[in-house]
A and B are shown apart, each in its own frame.
Chain A
Amino acid sequence: MIRARILISSDSLSLSRGAEETKLAFEAELSRYGLLDEVQVAYMGPADRTDALPLVIIYPEGTRYGPVTPADAAYIVEEQLYKGRVVEQLLAPPEMLSGEIAHLPGRTGITYAQKRVVLQRAGSIDPTDIEEYIAEDGYFALGAVLSDFSPHAVVETIKESGLQGRGGAGFPTGLKWSFVESQQSAQKFIVCNADESEPGTFKDRLILEGDPHVVLEAMAIAGYAVGADQGWIYIRGEYGQARERLELAIQQAEEYGLLGDNIMESDFSFHIHLHAGAGAYICGEETALLESLEGKRGIPRIRPPYPTVAGFRDKPTVVNNVETLANIPPIIHNGVEWFRSIGTEHCPGAKVYTMLGDVNITGLIEVPMGITLREVLDIYSGGMKAGKTFKCAQTGGASGSFIPPEMLDVPLDYKSMQEQGASLGSGALLICAEDTCIVDLAYVLMRFFQAESCGKCTPCRIGTTRMLEILARMRHGQSSTEELLALEEIATQVQELSFCGLGQAAAVPIITGLRYFREEFEAHLAGHCPAEVCPLDKVNQPAPETIQHNYL
């Protein structure tokens, strides 16, 4: 007879902080007290806030401890499970994700809060056990689709839901599916883009680590909808934990007849294959991903034809991001009305963000579309770190725009952001305090793009290098006004001319940096770094007058 259950967070970060040792300590201690028959120990998915890892939740009470060391584990067993007392001093900080709608101060009449749609199970079930997923209504949506929906009805449902791609571009998912549905082809494919490589973004990893089955179920639904019987998950090479969870999940789903031939004894068959990337950022771009998946060099393809017409192996292919797919079963399960009740009219649903930077709480939140950055900053991330003031945010990862203080009240949704010349991107929210140097930050970001440029097109291949060189000289106070103009010109042209989003985005930090913080660049020309970050004059650089930039 099991009377209690101990769940230990087991995402990559938790494991790196000793979750495995903590689990062993629980088991050893329970054994010492002879409680192994009464108390079950299991892993669960990731928790919301990173400062509480590894997190331990003990049911039926729902007590949350974190971070829990092996020594803490022994103490908790003795106190709570043997003596029945909560260990107050080891309790985790309050949970961010209440799952309830909250009314925010000062915004009467409008409800904003976190809303778990894709993260509804992550962190509360054991991701290695399909039974737990099924117990939480898992595969219910697939069953419903197979028994009650025509393929076309599924496509229509997703269309009506207004779901937009969560990979960054915000393309309407249902529309994408309908393109593939309308293609006459004996072979079609569903590809899950799990090559999450945007700096500061780790939402897909946590979904996969915490709730892998939701993605599998979604892919099967997509396959049924568009007429595909094969699916591929292209997963970032470094995501070992997520890959193992997916492998196990696929194996379990196949054993349960929820994947493979004749799913749930229907005529529908769907097989899912895993493919690990090899460390190239560009392979997150869907056409480069497809090239790589085909075993070729990962470089972007010409569009058109789009993947919906000629994708994997030149067959019609749906390429969806992990988070996008994770929205599918809840939409089917709860209905379009429910989904559209969350978020805004133009951008329904919730969005997962990763918060990082100079704030008190970093980690994952899922909140309805349309919340403002100021609300995220004030409520979910607990405000700026002590003594710091907000300087700017960068949304959407390295390729995102800088958001100055005056734009903090722009609603976070695809439409509103685009209208402001910014982007929601992958959902990374980097919050920077006043001691951040924009030139230095631009340099760090450009170093990333310069390293990750695939080399296919001229502007990105050479332009990122030239921009990096200029930024490097600026950091060293060795640049000139002429060079600043050259930097601006290169950035403008690289954005205009680059083959794919990588090059187009590489210039964004410079363009928006110059738009909002031009004086900071100019200060560097005069040998001054206002934030006192840059290594001015520490390295010998060529004298600025010897460098010519007559590109035009």
Chain B
Amino acid sequence: MTKMVHLTIDGQEVTVPANSTVLEASQQLGITIPTLCHHPDLTPTGACRLCVVEVEGMRNLETSCTLPATEGMVVHTQTDKVVDSRRFTLSMLLTDHPNECMTCEMDGDCELQRWVYEYDVQWPEHSGARHSRPVDSDPNPVVLVDMNKCILCGRCVRACAEIQGRDVWNFSERGFDTLVVAGANQPMLDADCESCGNCVAYCPVGALFDKPSQGWGRATYQTKVRTTCTYCGVGCQFDLNVKDGKITRVTSTPEAPANGMALCVKGRYGWDFVHSDERLTVPLIRDANGGSKYPGFREATWDEALDLVAQKLTYHRDHSGPDSVGYLSSAKCTNEENYLMQKLARAVGKTNNVDHCARLCHSSTVAGLASTLGSGAMTNSIEDSTGDAKLYFVTGSNTTEQHPVIGIKMRKAIREKGVKLIVADPRKIDLCKLAVLHLQQRPGTDVALFNGIMREIIVNGWEDKEYIAERTENFEACKEVVMKYTLELTEEITTVPAAKIKEAARLLHENKPSAVFWSMGITQHTTGTMNVMSLANLQMLLGNLGVRGGGVNPLRGQNNVQGACDLGTLSNVYPGYQKVVDPAMKEKFEAFWGVEGLSDKVGLTVVELMNAAHDGDLKALYVFAENPMTSDPDLNHVKVALETLDFLVVQDIFMTETAQYATVILPSTCFAEKEGTFTSTERRIQRVRKAVQAPGESRPDWQIICEVGTRMGYPMHYASPADVMDEIAACTPIYSGVHYWRLDAGAQLAWPVRGDEHPGTPILHVGKFARGLGLFTANEHLEPREAPDAEYPFTMTTGRVLYHWHGGEQTRRSESLLALYPEPLVEINPDDADRLGIVDGDQIKLASRRGELVARAWLTDRVAPGLVFSTFHFPAGNANWLTGAFLDPVAKIPEYKVSAVKVEKIA
């Protein structure tokens, strides 16, 4: 119970918690006190002196933002003395501030301007020296710096340190000449800047501004539309600022539940792809004679294109069988659209050949967790797992680059609260700088590493015996295997020194609860499912499941990969993970959709669909906002598969690498142009709202899918995506309480939401696992499928970078992001490079048994000798020309993370 104190402010009594400031107490009474340096997210500093108040019994005026409220305190916030002092402070600021409100981007939104207006402070014409500093003084492509306008409130300095954990900004010089500079007065990007723009978001004046939004009009002339980010699965919300039908800026809002004011570089600056000249605007049909700006395609009417698609899909369904048609759905699109896509495949196409890219990222997570715990998602919320954990065990997740806003929450807790961090990753990722321990295992040896750590825990008697006895089963079988992984054996397999394994076990024992986070580094292996089950073992062993600050937390990649899985665009389940092989479910959905003959056979997965196409068994494929020609493994194989298809329809916003093989291309809409919902990695269901009109004739995806279904003879009519969600709620138990009217009223819902009154479930498995008892599994180490050899001596592992997203379809069309990261880079250890005569920036060629890529070399110790790292953001340098389609036997996820390659310098 927090102690409360009572005080009197301007004659009104108020009761506040004992750790409140006088400013907070005043705000509780609705009293406005002007502030500049204060921001509720940031540590108080008391620098600007604007928020002073008079306190009876105190000699001087006090700054209310720093003054603790105490029992019996009597405060006056509006006396003449107070007002005079505030006016003095404002006029002092104006004596060293340019009189540029007429042309300033922040006019109307500027906090200094607001208080100067409200306190009627006159412009001091000739009052002494003014600084004259260069405008746009930093080459950063997204942050505009004009330190003439800086009032030295230090909010940018604190935002960068306390929110972003980056310490780019600081004060230099002293006294009157004090100046905010990046690093040691360097360009921002040389001072560790990640271009997240959070400093801009916190700047009260026009000293920092979003460069791409310059000249697009002030806040007054903009409409703000609250929506959810289209990049990763963190589920950040922000406001799209719209003027004249164009997005002009992204502004963050303290009301965003997952991220607050923080955004990453992609969220804040990666929006300009929406208005790219390369957007598809009319339906296209393959025609050797051309007839559009795309060679080999002519423009078509919607009727013509939709009829052709419906006719082809129907023909192949009826002549070659329902399973000769495949449907690739999209984790970029909304829940409603994914629901409709699997409904189209199942109810109309009569096949379970519907899958999406979750297969390529977290299918092993879903398989591994569903079988051991009963539910295949992140068990905890972002808030509690990053906020209450004593230790983070981050493995195979480059969190600060791939889930940046979760990454910065980790950084903040590590820096401010001393949370311990263990990183288990073959690469020395950025987070390693903050880690107490970095376990740099050989790629593909995760099971052995986790077994080795668990053995140390058991040997020392550190396992949670009570928890194991009460809440789990099959521990002995697990233990039997684990005990084989002695320190010596584990070191031999993983190359991680025994001392570090011991240390990891000790840290996990001494710092409970600990939260485990992982991502593709764990899942994209032929042992992906076992990797995940091993992590579940570890957390059950320590009793870290079902508690705040613990959990197994797979960080989902795409903005809606969680939702796409939830809504059944997986070849084995209906919406809500209801199994297609379960006769009761078949019956339920036949009745619900009013159809007969739903398939009871598990369909083909992403890679299996490509293999079937390659072999001629799959005749037609409907690709909905996916791009297998960049994101699938072994692209040469995919290319042949796509060429072999009889009919390919691609529904997308750009002429993607895959669309080039299509017969019909349907122009669709992006996140900013339609209504819907996304489900974030923490199972939080959030609204996506239309801000601008889609270009040309392009249509929302949900309407296109409905048109195709209707033209195939199954009427699909909905007034709006809200209707679709109501249908989802009716057939999907975990979504049964999800409705737009709840979301639009501000409900924060994480599934399972078991009814219209149910508040949602931020933490899973509290008290009891979804499957009943948690299942321990026995997992043996298996070598990756492809080992380096004399011809292919390097191991290539793959991933992404902060500034780009997946196949780069959107980010390569964002001028801001391209300016920050213009071309693919291959990470190579300086020792290896030296041996091969490669210097930083050289063009190098990587080749595997399947293909090759050319990119520039980045010499860095992020990779150990013998390891190279490459991405799939750019078509030319795409790692997937090299990767192999070796699949995890359970989840069918390909082993992107280990390929044997050779490296050579291009003369």
Question: A466 contacts B128, CB within 8 Å?
Answer: yes
What's the minimum C-beta distance from B257 to chain A, rounded to whole angstroms?
30
CB contacts under 8 Å to A, within B140-178, are: 151-152, 170-171, 173-178
B127 at interface, CB cutoff 8 A: yes
Please give, as numbers and ranges, the residues of chain A lying within 8 Å of B48 by CB-CB distance: 457-458
Contact assessment for B47 and A456 in the assembled complex, using a CB-CB cutoff below 8 Å: yes
Answer whether residue A455 sits at the interface, using C-beta atoms and an 8 A cutoff: yes
B175 and A551: CB pair below 8 A?
A: no
From B89-97, B289-297, B806-814, the one touching the partner chain is B89-97
Does the CB pair A465–B126 fall under 8 Å?
no
Instruction: Give min CB distance, A544 to chain B, whole Å.
Output: 10
In the complex the two chains form, is A454's CB within 8 Å of B175's CB? yes
A493 touching B85, Cβ below 8 Å: yes
Q: Which of A39-47, A131-139, A445-453 contacts B (4 or more CB under 8 A)?
A: A445-453
A302 located at the interface, meaning its Cβ lies under 8 Å from any Cβ of chain B in the complex: yes
Question: Are B49 and A455 in touch, CB under 8 angstroms?
Answer: no
Please report the C-alpha to C-alpha distance between residue A201 and residue B324 in the assembled complex, in whole angstroms: 93
CB distance from B157 to the nearest CB of A (A): 10
**A552 on the B face (CB < 8 A):** yes
A499 to B61, CA, bound (A): 10
Contact (Cβ within 8 A) A455 B173: yes
B46 close to A (CB within 8 Å): yes
Query: Given that A458-B92, A499-B47 are contacting pairs, would A552 and B87 also be in contact in the complex, using a CB cutoff of 8 Å?
Result: yes
A246 to chain B, nearest CB (A): 27
- Is B174 touching A459 in the complex (CB atoms < 8 A)? no
Q: Give every chain B residue within 8 A of A493 (Cβ-Cβ).
A: 84-85, 88-89
> Counting CB contacts under 8 A, is A462 at the interface?
yes
Tell whether, in the assembled complex, residue A297 and residue B170 are in contact, meaning their CB atoms are under 8 Å apart. yes
Out of B89, B96, B175, which one reaches A450, CB within 8 Å? B175
Smallest CB gap from B88: residue in A: A493
List chain B residues, Cβ under 8 A from A499.
46-47, 49
If A461-B176, A462-B96, A496-B60 touch, does A550 touch B88 (CB 8 Å cutoff)? no
Taking a contact as CB atoms closer than 8 A, the residue among B45, B52, B177 that contacts A455 in the complex is B177
- Which of A455, A542, A547, A552 has a CB less than 8 Å from the CB of B84? A552
Contact A280 B174 (CB under 8 A): yes
In this assembly, does A401 line the interface, its C-beta being within 8 Å of a C-beta of chain B? no
Instruction: Please determine whether B175 and A489 come into contact, CB atoms closer than 8 angstroms.
Output: no
Q: Is the CB of A458 within 8 A of B47?
A: yes
Using CB atoms, name the residue of chain A closest to B52: A497
Query: B129 within 8 Å of A by Cβ?
Result: yes
B66 interface hit (Cβ, 8 Å) = yes
Q: A466-B128, A499-B46, A549-B127 are in contact. Are A458 and B175 (CB under 8 A)?
A: no
Decide if A551 touches B174 in the complex (CB within 8 Å). no
B contact residues around A542 at 8 Å (CB): 126
From B52, B126, B151, give the contact of A548 (CB < 8 A): B126
Chain B nearest CB from A332 CB (Å) reads 35
Chain B, 836-858, CB within 8 A of any chain A CB = none
Distance (whole angstroms) from the CB of A486 to the closest CB of chain B: 9
Interface membership of B799, Cβ < 8 A: no
Contact with A along B227-268 (1 / 0, CB 8 A): 000000000000000000000000000000000000000000
Question: Do A455 and B175 have beta carbons less than 8 Å apart?
Answer: yes
Give complex CA distance A463, B127 in Å.
11
Contact A457–B88 (Cβ < 8 Å): no
Which residue on chain B has the smallest CB distance to residue A472?
A: B128
**Interface presence of B470 (CB below 8 A):** no
- Residue from A302, A452, A490 in contact with B44 in the complex, judged by beta carbons closer than 8 Å: A302
> From residue A225, how far is it (CB to closest CB) to chain B in Å?
28
Q: Which of B45, B52, B96, B128 has the most CB of A within 10 A?
A: B128
Q: Does B68 contact A (CB under 8 A)?
A: yes
A464 at the interface (CB under 8 A from B): yes
The interface on chain B, measured as residues whose beta carbon lies within 8 A of the other chain's beta carbons, has a size of 39
Which single member of A456, A464, A490 contacts B176 (CB below 8 Å)?
A: A464
Q: How large is the interface on A (under 10, 10 to 19, 20 to 34, 35 or more residues)?
A: 35 or more
Cross-chain contact A552 with B88 (CB below 8 angstroms): yes
| Shortest Cβ gap from A182 to chain B (Å) | 19
Distance between Cα atoms of A550 and B170 in the complex (Å): 32
**B174 contacts A489, C-beta separation under 8 Å:** no
B contact residues around A496 at 8 Å (CB)? 60-61, 85
Name B36's closest neighbour in chain A (CB-CB).
A458
CB of B91 within 8 A of CB of A552, answer: yes
Chain B's nearest CB lies how many Å from the CB of A546?
5
The distance in angstroms between the C-alpha atoms of A548 and B95, with both chains bound, is 11
The complex places the Cα of A267 from the Cα of B175 at a distance, in Å, of 47
Kindly list chain A residues whose C-beta atoms are within 8 Å of the C-beta of B44. Answer: 302
Which A residues are CB-close (under 8 A) to B715?
A: none
Provide the bound-state CA to CA distance between A71 and B799, in Å: 81
CB-CB contacts of A210-236 with B at 8 A, as 1s and 0s? 000000000000000000000000000
Query: Given the complex, which residues of A lie within 8 Å of B171, measured CB to CB?
Result: 297, 299, 455
Q: How far, in angstroms, from A459 to B129 measured CA to CA in the complex?
A: 15
Q: Closest chain B residue to A469 by CB distance?
A: B128
B171 and chain A: residue at smallest CB distance: A297
A105 at the interface (CB under 8 A from B): no
Does A304 belong to the interface (CB within 8 Å)? yes
B154 CB to nearest chain A CB (Å): 8
B175 touches A463 (CB 8 A): no
With A465-B128, A542-B126 known as contacts, the answer to whether A455 contacts B152 (CB < 8 A) is yes
The reply on B277 being an interface residue by CB < 8 A is no
Chain A: CB-nearest residue to B84 = A552
B residues less than 8 Å from A453 (CB atoms): 174-176
Contact flags A490-504 to B (C-beta < 8 A → 1, else 0): 100100111100001
Given the interface pairs A453-B174, A552-B84, the reply to whether A497 lies near B47 with Cβ below 8 Å is no
Q: Which residues of A contact B128 (CB under 8 A)?
A: 465-466, 469, 547
Residue contact B127 to A459, C-beta cutoff 8 Å: no
For A551, give its contact among B45, B46, B124, B170 (CB under 8 Å).
B124
Of the candidates A458, A463, A464, the one having the most CB atoms from chain B within 10 angstroms of its own CB is A458
Chain B 58-91 interface residues, beta-carbon cutoff 8 Å to A: 60-61, 66, 68, 84-85, 87-89, 91
List, in ascending order, chain A residues with CB within 8 A of B174's CB. Answer: 280, 451-455
**B122 in contact (CB, < 8 A):** yes
> Within the complex, what minimum Cβ distance (angstroms) separates B70 from chain A?
10
- Taken together as a complex, chains A and B put the C-alpha atoms of A280 and B91 apart, in Å, by 28
Residues of B within 8 A of A454 (CB): 174-175, 178
CB distance from B156 to the nearest CB of A (A): 15
Complex Cα distance, B76 from A298, in Å, reads: 32
The B-contacting residues of A in range 381-397, CB under 8 angstroms, are: none
Tell me which residues across on chain A come within 8 A of B173, comparing CB atoms.
455
- Chain B residues lying within 8 Å of A463, measured Cβ to Cβ, are 92
Structural contact, A450 and B176, CB atoms closer than 8 A: yes
CB-defined contacts of A464 to chain B, threshold 8 Å: 175-176
Contacts of A461 in B (CB 8 A): 152, 175-176, 178
Minimal Cβ-Cβ distance residue in B for A302: B66
CA of A452 to CA of B176 in the docked complex: distance in angstroms? 10
Q: How far is it, in angstroms, between the C-alpha of A451 and the C-alpha of B176 when the chains are bound?
A: 8
Contact: B129 with A465, CB < 8 Å?
Answer: yes
Residue of A whose beta carbon sits closest to that of B170: A297
In the complex, which residues 177-209 of chain B have their Cβ closer than 8 Å to any Cβ of chain A? 177-178
CA distance in complex: A496, B85 (Å): 8
Q: In angstroms, how far is the closest chain A Cβ from the Cβ of B184?
A: 13
Tell me, rounded to whole Å, the shortest Cβ–Cβ distance linking A399 to chain B: 16
Chain A residue, CB-CB nearest to B92: A462
Known: A453-B176, A496-B61, A499-B49. A546 touches B126 (CB 8 A): yes
B125 close to A (CB within 8 Å): yes
12 more A-B contacts (CB under 8 A) besides A455-B173, A469-B128? A280-B174, A453-B174, A453-B176, A454-B178, A456-B47, A457-B49, A458-B151, A462-B93, A462-B176, A493-B89, A497-B89, A552-B91
Shortest 7 CB-CB distances between A and B: which pairs? A455-B178, A453-B175, A462-B92, A551-B91, A465-B176, A469-B128, A493-B88
Please name 20 pairs of A and B residues whose Cβ atoms are closer than 8 Å in the assembled complex, sorted by A.
A297-B170, A297-B171, A299-B171, A451-B175, A452-B175, A453-B175, A454-B174, A455-B175, A457-B49, A458-B50, A458-B92, A461-B178, A462-B95, A462-B96, A497-B49, A504-B60, A548-B125, A550-B122, A551-B87, A551-B88
